[in-house]
Structure 1
């Protein structure tokens, strides 16, 4: 990962049709391509000097990658494996249709702006593990007829709904908001006007009819803490009365100033929140029972505590910590939060379905079967071990459709049907539904395998990573390894340039680095008291303090502006305000004046300088192999546009 992040500062490889800025050999780079890389990676000045410096660096990087490809380094097994692994890691983020995802974000934001009070009648296809769609349709018609004749929605729900709770709540679901219901049902609810009854909606589970009882501005989300005195199974009225008395007592203690969190930890039966001083997971409308939500959202301000109130679970005392209103504008943060919600919800299937339809169209989907009836008969014979009901002219190798360069076969279909034929509740899917799922899965798999042909952002990310790896591989071979391992060449370089390696005013010292200012201050006091025992002292701070001893130029030694250095000096900690780390030093000996550095002392500097020399000579050779020509006219346009 470090390699990839570093190379992004050098590379920005993605071709776009535009005016050519420069060529190298037979390769051309557009002005748009260069600007994209410059704007992405340059965080400093934007003037002509900075742009020209970046252009030189950019051209150099392109030459190196071109040479790496010429040497066929892109065929190295490790680089190919790295690329394949990255491809699999980033693929999930591209398996949705961007246009439809943006639409879902806008829709979810609109739904989040208001809460709806909803009633519901549900007619199930399956009862007692027996599926009977005919009986369900008959019951649906009975409900519609009763409503048309004037039966109230609440009475119809109590009489007909297969939702067990409807017998007690008359089908009243309470208030809901975006993401409360499955997306397909939410869409029906938000499309229905207040006071009206929705059209019948058929889901995989059965028929749904909704009525919108009310509408209000969204309440938002709540952070709260609770004390729950829960009813155990089979609790009698005497036990419930005792809990009521205890809840009143706890409430009075809170009013008298007792700590809510401590009481929650000691008495609450909600073991999850009790372990966190009563603090619950943040929640919104439609997640808890109507009584609970109504009471909590009615608390007037942060810090307010409810009187004990009763739900089906027991007695609750709730403290409002913070009310989080819904965003009023669809800004970047709100958009990102909604995108995350959508991608982890059932809405994600919508974007995949839309994407699959686009791929089917773009890749030229074509059915190769004259009729699906023969395929259904064949599938029955394979999955249910029955004799085919019609004469079969197909076999496992018969292609069923074409998609791009793919032609799935009857065998592929049968294997898919075998694996995906059952719903979560155990019911069997009908073949047309299975077929649609099979085709969609094939389209999405085709999209995955040909992502670079369909998604420019994905192609850019893959190309950047691939070229980045090539850049590092060839730099390792041509520059870094030779400069670090050729001891003879390094010594010769040192001898020729010895005058460049001089100690300026310096000192033998120990530098200390603390991961926080408090540790630095504590350690500094102990070091100041016994500097000669620094090794023993630092060993007691293994997690907080690190040290580095050696010879350092005075400019490298951390100290205050007014501090003077002398043998035995312990400098004051210098705190980095950005991360609260601190550094300071213990000076052992001062070296006045300039002195030549030995090869051992200068080796790190020699390696860096020798690397730069090797790289400069190599780039010069590359420019001869891949002649560089800059379109100065286009360059002036770029510079003048800044």
Structure 2
């Protein structure tokens, strides 16, 4: 598939479509009475003018021939029915889905969110929180009750009560017993978006207003803000904290002894393999995956790791809640630039709560664009079918009901039936929505359904909405067809048509000739005395194996040999040697000395088909393609409107 995409890129460069639509649209030529227009020809020509290096392709008469040839190939592909192949349809659908992503989103809001995320990524926040649980679909009265609880606790904190004490007493975060609400340091994308925003918008030392997330309400206390430290890669040696005083003392003694060995110059990696009790990293010399602030469960470990300045620096032994450690800095990874994070951040934004802001913005625009008009009577009728069984996924449309009426229209004449909405409601039971009361759930289902229909209508009409989208899709559609056609008619034929290939080779044998060749053994060494000794052995008619075994001793490789048949001038042969049969003079190039044993010389002559088959196939493919268009012109009837073409030429040449 990757090869196809690369080749399609080449086709599309050669047959590219620009986005400017100028000049009056007229029929430039027909193929079997199918019209092809001046606007496309002008776009293609102007786009290619910047790409082609061959001046002949800039000539408009020549370019028209190329353009007609291209369209003939596409018509041939359609005539063969290649556009109906399942693989072609799947590939085209996949490409359209990928391309449409740039159009079915609110790019302005997306850019604003990327900018916001990057600015936040430059800082780290140290914060604690108190969580008051409330379901995101809770009734307004229940939500207000929990909000007031949060405000009551906030007031107590502002009046001087201790945040940690109130966190332990009130927070419904299961981890509060261990951390007293402390979340440590974190940066962008580490928390759900509303919480992240609450933390970054709260000044250092202050308490936020209640922040609503899908978990409930949070009170956030920001202790500190600092520049992002980036990430580090480190190795460590660890001895585990003991279960009793004896084991604890042994762990401390072992880590101290290891540190002394390191000071004596012993290998950190070897000592980690022998003594580290972190079995997940000891086999790798103690190396851990790179990490940033807040990604490990030990602040002590992180702080020591980030305190090391230079690669190779080693910390003194220190203790965490897990045991004793010694850390070696492998590499520091600074915060990435905006350009390096742009694509990554956009992907993350589409996966978290920020995506809701993008969808809402697009939904608002589509609502305004397509003028949704609701049929209030039909809306009430469908709601009357809904009941509490929906919450247990047991709801079905009551028998005898057939709500086949228009529930809303959009874009004046696009009518959406209640039947579609009811089917949507039924299928959404699987999502196990718990929005209450039932009227609120129904309103949400309706709004989501409208958005889905608007989005689909918008996506289906992208070609009408955006000329550039239509041009690119036409370009890709034709390029994909041309690829499949070339594969069928040219590339595969050149590989499988053995008789045609042989005849082509015989007719063009003069193009496949060997230069003068030699069969040789080329000996090389960085030591001149070794090559001299090699030359002496060769003159005594010693074999290659004899020479290698007598010179390369005690595990050393002082001489190497390259054997084979090579054309004179081949890079495999030493320069500045006279390749007559026998033993050459010693030559010197760079750090190497050479002597060559020339076994025989082979005169110039034709290559056998098997010896040059790859090149012959390539040339045969080009030959078939060159004559192919002539055959297509006989198969299809092409009529050029010369008067229109002359007018197009004058317009393009003026510009």
Normalising by the residue count of structure 2, what TM-score does the alignment of the two structures yield?
0.70
2:172 counterpart of 1:162: yes
Give the structure 1 partner of residue 19 of structure 2.
Answer: 16
Which of the numbers 407, 412, 416 marks the counterpart of 2:427?
416
Alignment of 1:481-630 (within 5 A): 503=513, 505-507=515-517, 529=544, 559-564=573-578, 590-592=602-604, 604=616, 607-608=620-621, 610-611=623-624, 613-615=626-628, 617-618=630-631, 625=638, 627=640, 629=645
Distance 1:486 1:221, change over 3 A: closer
Alignment of 1:304-383 (within 5 A): 304-327=313-336, 329-330=337-338, 332-343=339-350, 347-348=354-355, 350-370=357-377, 375=382, 378-383=385-390
Mark the structure with the bigger radius of gyration: 2
Gaps of 5+ in 2: 31-35, 523-542, 547-561, 587-595
Distance 1:451 1:226, change over 3 A: farther
2:154 counterpart of 1:139: no
**Aligned to 2:234, what secondary structure does the other structure show?**
strand
Partner Cα separation in structure 1 for residue 416 and residue 378 of structure 2? 20
Which of the numbers 469, 474, 479 marks the counterpart of 1:468?
479
- Deviation for aligned residue 1:304: 2.6
Partner Cα separation in structure 1 for residue 319 and residue 334 of structure 2? 26
Normalising by the residue count of structure 1, what TM-score does the alignment of the two structures yield?
0.71
- Deviation for aligned residue 1:470: 1.9
Partner Cα separation in structure 1 for residue 65 and residue 284 of structure 2? 54
Distance 1:226 1:464, change over 3 A: farther
Give the structure 2 partner of residue 205 of structure 1.
Answer: 215
Alignment: residue pair count: 578
Partner Cα separation in structure 2 for residue 455 and residue 568 of structure 1? 74
Residues 403-446 of structure 1 show CA distances to partners (whole Å, capped at 9, x for unaligned) of: 6565563432332331112589xxxx955555555555555555
2:108 counterpart of 1:108: no
2:267 counterpart of 1:254: no
**Aligned to 1:215, what secondary structure does the other structure show?**
strand
Distance 1:197 1:76, change over 3 A: same
Residues 324-365 of structure 1 show CA distances to partners (whole Å, capped at 9, x for unaligned) of: 2224x52x3232343354455554554455445544554554
Distance 1:558 1:351, change over 3 A: farther
Return 18-27 or 302-311, whichever deviates more: 18-27
Which of the numbers 174, 188, 193 marks the counterpart of 1:178?
188
Gaps of 5+ in 1: 513-527, 532-546, 573-583
Residues 108-139 of structure 1 show CA distances to partners (whole Å, capped at 9, x for unaligned) of: 11111222222322111269xxx964653342
Distance 1:236 1:11, change over 3 A: same
8 A contact 1:63–1:623 mirrored in 2: no
**Aligned to 1:116, what secondary structure does the other structure show?**
strand
Partner Cα separation in structure 2 for residue 37 and residue 585 of structure 1? 54
Partner Cα separation in structure 2 for residue 105 and residue 585 of structure 1? 67
Partner Cα separation in structure 1 for residue 9 and residue 191 of structure 2? 43
How much is the aligned-residue C-alpha RMSD, in angstroms? Answer: 5.1
- Deviation for aligned residue 1:34: 4.1
Give the structure 2 partner of residue 301 of structure 1.
Answer: 310
